[in-house]
Amino acid sequence: MFTGIIENKGKVLRVEYRGQEERLTLEIPMDLTDLKLGDSININGVCLTVVEKKGQAIGVDLSLETLEKTILGKLKEGDKVNLERALRLTDRLGGHIVTGHIDGIGVILDKRRERDFLGLRVHIPPSISRYVVEKGSIAIDGISLTVNQCQGEEIQITLIPYTIEKTTLIDKKVGDQVNVEADILGKYVEKMLDRGVGESNRVDLSFLKEHGFVERE
């Protein structure tokens, strides 16, 4: 579990192809060298396990599922990546709840400077847009961001100077792909509203009236 508050950036040192899978070797900054074998780490929004460590270098494996569902397979030697260690129970939840399980791939449609800020317009799949609301949260390449506007399958977000400095989104170009994870709270709400165990168990307006949450007419 993560918060979407990126701690620092790492660099891809090596990409090894192992049949249908890959292993990435990453250079990590000094402030993340307390990582241990078996620890979870969020890399560009994807929850991965540290399987190798030597000094400031760690290795992570990319399964076929990860390569098919995310854009990590497009990483090359020298590329920068966003890094966040797993959330501890004593940590502040500065962003929002991020699982590290990517829901789909988005595409940057527009990128423009707004004084010290950076505005992005991103196309997201319809399977994700159903969970997105204005002023709600979304994770893009692992970064917890606020949705300024959402129109159909397009969202607009603004990066503050701190986010521009600490993450890799500044390096993205129009047409580039990004990993996208919807706010998991929306998925739970949808599940509760349509539990699929018969009409008598459906949480709708009639249910709310019957149980006193909404006044009867």
* Domain parsing of the chain, residue ranges: 8-85, 104-183, 184-217
**pLDDT for the residue numbered 195:** 61
Dihedral angle sign, alpha carbons of residues 119, 102, 20, 13: positive
Q: What is the pLDDT of residues 23-59, one digit of tens each?
A: 999 999 999 999 999 999 999 999 999 999 999 999 9
pLDDT band at 196 (very low <50, low <70, confident <90, very high): low
pLDDT for the residue 207: 67
Residue 201 in this model has a pLDDT that exceeds 70: no
Task: Give me Rg for the CA atoms of the chain.
Answer: 19
Domains 8-85 and 104-183 share a fold: yes
- Are 59 and 25 in contact by the 8 Å Cβ rule? The answer is yes
Instruction: Quote the pLDDT of residue 188.
Output: 86
Q: What is the pLDDT of residue 190?
A: 81
Please say whether the structural domain 104-183 has been given the CATH code 3.30.465.10. Answer: no
- Per-residue pLDDT of 59-68, as tens digits, reads 999 999 999 9
Choices 3.40.50.800, 3.40.30.10, 3.20.20.70, 2.40.30.20: CATH for 8-85:
2.40.30.20
- DSSP notation for 75-136: --TT-EEEEEEPPPTTS---S--B-S---EEEEEEEEEEETTEEEEEEE--HHHHTT--TT-
Q: What is the pTM of this model?
A: 0.88
